[in-house]
Homo-oligomer: A and B are copies of this chain.
Amino acid sequence: MEWLTEDEQATWRAFLQATTLLEDHLDRQLQRDAGMPHMYYALLATLSETPERRMRMTELAQRTKITRSRLSHAVSRLEGNGWLRRENCPSDRRGQLAVLTDAGYDELVRTAPGHVTAVRAAIFDRLSPEQAEQLGEISRIIADGLNHPQGTDLPWLR
């Protein structure tokens, strides 16, 4: 094996600090404004972008890169708020759909401006256009690598 160089170590530490601080910051912002963590917001936002505001649970887990059990827990909480509901999938007896309710959509519309402002202030207002482009490219490379690991240890397949 090969250890990280000093530059690589510094990069890795800065990356961990950036992602830890960012996740904390966005969780706090959304907890304050909407009483939900960032991951729940991402579920509502993902559903809102589909034509009928609904998606199979397995696909929702895959899109958001989380485990089925974590998704199931989140959906139960969001059902309790009246923002989501589960429906049986008409084309597959064993499948279930997550459906964004009108109340969930309204909540998303209400909280989106504050969330987008937070993301912009933390990232895009601070990076040059070139850096924003580099971040996109680097993120796609890392995500692609982990989307096809050896074996099938992907979160949404567990």
Integer count of this chain's copies in the complex: 2
* Contact flag A120-B18 (CB < 8 Å), given A11-B133, A127-B138, A145-B126: no
Give chain B nearest CB distance to A16 CB in angstroms.
Answer: 7
Count, chain A residues at interface, CB 8 A: 57
**Is A133 within 8 A of B17, CB to CB?**
no
Smallest CB-CB separation from A15: which chain B residue? B139
Question: Is A103 part of the contact surface with B, judged by Cβ < 8 Å?
Answer: no
**Which chain B residues lie closer than 8 Å to A15 at the CB level?**
123, 135-136, 139
**Is A141 within 8 A of B116, CB to CB?**
no
Contact indicator per residue, chain A 16-38, by CB within 8 Å of chain B (1) or not (0): 11111111110010000000000
